[in-house]
Structure 1
């Protein structure tokens, strides 16, 4: 007789990133996604720690899509002993082949810089989570599976199939049917209505359990028609256009960059904005764009993207020297650089050059996780620290939601409504607290409040026919305090305090006032030591 499945939430629970769900049923153990944590240092440190399960015990990994917060720890999983197949759609396999080695390269470079600083401070060196070579090696385990085609795993009756999620080239929701007869739908990331390059999401109706993303569950976006999106982008570019100024756009290298490029070139062709250089300052974006060109016939508006990539004013910077040369350009120009949350890559160099200049504009076009530099800028910081340097923020900081790859609250509610009925339970994942609360309010009338669940990081549920049963704490040991997930941590508080301290010292009237302020702080530290 088949047993009830057990579902573990090893990521994207109480937070948006680190997607990783482990499903155990009838002697088969699979992972859905194996993503990297982004956000606060507390969360990012999880990437370096051992997995909360034995990778050698996993029979198969099924990927919803290639974004690093869903696939970024796959090379580590393989490095730590996982030897099974990695199932994904064909385009996801192609994108992972460029994204994962790039992720390994970035980690190698960042660790090299960190170890150089550690040596001067007398601290021990660290190792990268994995290398570009590790990432390339793991690609031999990838297996491409077409949409809507059943694929069996093991001998226990478990099978799955992919459905288009409308979020990214190759993105999919995953339908799983277990030997116990449970039907489970993992939403993956669901794309919004009127997405430039992707078809609308789809999947069957009638489920025992659904895992639904809730990244923007508390938001109702502005009108997101094609013309409305173009109108908003046109207004931002026109407002940013200044002599010897720049519009700097931190953007995810895959899909967001390609969408922005297509729309910018279209507006220039229509003469609705000034034709100027558009610089794609990301080697990953260059390689990913070639993958998009290869799959252009499978996408909406693929011809528009192909035309934009051939435009004379579009330049892809491949080498470090080409990237550095951007800082010496004259005349208004647009720079699109990764990463989208300003956490790594060339965007940090572009921000160091432009944040302190009033003629610069930074346009945020995607979700900014708590604790990231992008979120700190979005929240209105006057000063930030980049690579150890304190940078004043004088540039205009703007946000444009219409390029998000995630559906907003109404879109997600419509997606869930089309999946009904959900008999046993719906888990809200991939969302911070406010987004999850907003999503619960939307879905309670559809599903019933008693069928809505918000799992904590590393929690586990037995998926019984009547509803999920939370396993006891001694069976599921969280790696960090689940309350810390999805929130700024003490590292962020420390940086904010140091910036506030420097600001207070600068505003103090004279040297005597500064000494008084420092003595007060010293007394507070001494009191703390006594306690």
Structure 2
């Protein structure tokens, strides 16, 4: 008996975590963090919906926090199996998990100070610590190469295919055998936006799968074309500098930071931005991730690695990489002419919140959002038109110009999702996950309905027999 259940990203966008069970093996695909408001932070601490001690292997599609962020908690609660990922994912996951642990420890200390002031005797604890994150890395065992089938558990073979989402990202084709019954399932992971300069387009599965578990982050709409998005970024920076302001770009450290640097380098190459424009990459994780990029040229689109040896878009003339906290603080003394890239992309934590505190109120400044912002995040509040936001116990007026450029998204839009699914043959059923329930999932489901493709939106923890 082969069963599928989703314990994250079921009727919601974040927290991807899917379990395949046979009578011989239990395989987990991803173990991500729920991201958004305080209620999701509480959801992260709840039971997984399965016993971590019973999981034989965890297959990781990529290193984004909403796909890998609960791995230390999984280990903390008893997981002792193997974790398999591509080589770049393994390196990037180390950065992401260490950063997440540091932020959680910082938040726990801040909450503890608040609790002490209000006489609360219960001291807040982080979901996991830096030590927990490093311990979890010990369970990474085995490196997956694209297109290479490997036996990962009794009766289970996995083939990682390039998902084109971030460096090292994969869709995973599982071949399952149980008491003479064979089934195949293709887990999309996050599907990349094709035609990007850094990475190859998403790959089709090695064979038509019986079932597909598919993300629907942008199941309701398409993205603006890449070239138009580059132009919009350049215009936003140029116009802000003409007003004498700063540009703050909340930036995801993986892929988005590197693509924004590429876009700024294009602006300089076209002589629409000054060659020595001051750009701060104020994110230790993004700096380290950029270094990982340079170590894996084979994982990039053909032709792009040659640029790294010519005029690298990761090495702008005015680029300043700030790892030290004191250097980050000093940036806030600059009153105009700077581009400040800092994490996190949804402004839920990290250094960007300090930069927003010092720049949101200035009418000459701009804030440019270049990625998805989940409901309940500070980024979403600003994008939705909040006139003021609370930062560090202070109410900050929003007077800066707000730009949203969705063409930088690392996710495929509706048209690309349908094209990707078209390369999977005619599955018996498509399970829609990782999307807004009403917009991403239901709207995309209607598209499948019109194509006579059977589909289903699994509930959290709902067991589904793959007959």
Aligned length in residues: 455
1:262-341 to 2 correspondences below 5 Å: 262-275=262-275, 276-300=277-301, 301-304=304-307, 307-341=312-346
**Structure 1 segments (4+ residues) deviating >6 Å:** none
Aligned residue among 428, 449, 453 for 2:432: 428
Aligned residue among 161, 170, 178 for 1:163: 161
Question: Structure 2: how far apart are the matches of 1:194 and 1:228?
Answer: 13
Query: Partner of 1:428: helix, strand, or coil?
Result: strand
Consecutive unaligned residues of structure 1, counting only runs of 5 or more, are 465-531
Report what 1:457 is aligned to. 460
Query: Partner of 2:451: helix, strand, or coil?
Result: helix
Question: Structure 2: how far apart are the matches of 1:27 and 1:337?
Answer: 46
Task: Check conservation: 1:256, 1:403, Cα contact below 8 A.
Answer: yes
Question: Structure 2: how far apart are the matches of 1:165 and 1:193?
Answer: 10
Question: Structure 2: how far apart are the matches of 1:447 and 1:73?
Answer: 36
Q: 1:440: how far off?
A: 1.3
Question: Structure 1: how far apart are the matches of 2:270 and 2:421?
Answer: 38
1:27-106 to 2 correspondences below 5 Å: 27-106=24-103
Aligned residue among 411, 418, 421 for 1:413: 418
Report what 1:473 is aligned to. none
Aligned residue among 219, 222, 240 for 1:220: 222
Report what 1:504 is aligned to. none
Greater mean alpha carbon deviation, residues 94-103 or residues 9-18: 94-103
Deviations 1:204-254, CA, capped at 9 Å, x for gaps: 352211011100011122233xx3332222222222224541110011011
Aligned residue among 406, 409, 423 for 1:404: 409
Q: What is the TM-score of this pair, normalised by structure 1?
A: 0.83
Query: Partner of 2:94: helix, strand, or coil?
Result: helix
Report what 2:127 is aligned to. 129
Consecutive unaligned residues of structure 2, counting only runs of 5 or more, are none
Query: Partner of 1:398: helix, strand, or coil?
Result: strand
Deviations 1:18-74, CA, capped at 9 Å, x for gaps: 000011112211110000000122222111223221111111100000000000011
Task: Check conservation: 2:229, 2:406, Cα contact below 8 A.
Answer: no
Deviations 1:373-417, CA, capped at 9 Å, x for gaps: 111111111111123221111111110011100000000001111
Report what 1:477 is aligned to. none
Q: 1:446: how far off?
A: 3.0
Q: 1:330: how far off?
A: 4.1
Question: Structure 2: how far apart are the matches of 1:140 and 1:400?
Answer: 38
Question: Structure 2: how far apart are the matches of 1:294 and 1:410?
Answer: 33
Question: Structure 2: how far apart are the matches of 1:334 and 1:169?
Answer: 24
Query: Partner of 1:363: helix, strand, or coil?
Result: strand
Larger Rg: 1
Report what 2:12 is aligned to. 15
Query: Partner of 1:272: helix, strand, or coil?
Result: coil
Q: 1:331: how far off?
A: 3.5
Task: Compute the RMSD of aligned alpha carbons.
Answer: 1.4
Task: Check conservation: 2:211, 2:429, Cα contact below 8 A.
Answer: yes
Task: Check conservation: 2:238, 2:272, Cα contact below 8 A.
Answer: no
Q: 1:312: how far off?
A: 2.7
Report what 1:209 is aligned to. 211
Query: Partner of 2:327: helix, strand, or coil?
Result: helix
Report what 1:144 is aligned to. 143
Structure richer in helix, relative to its length? 1
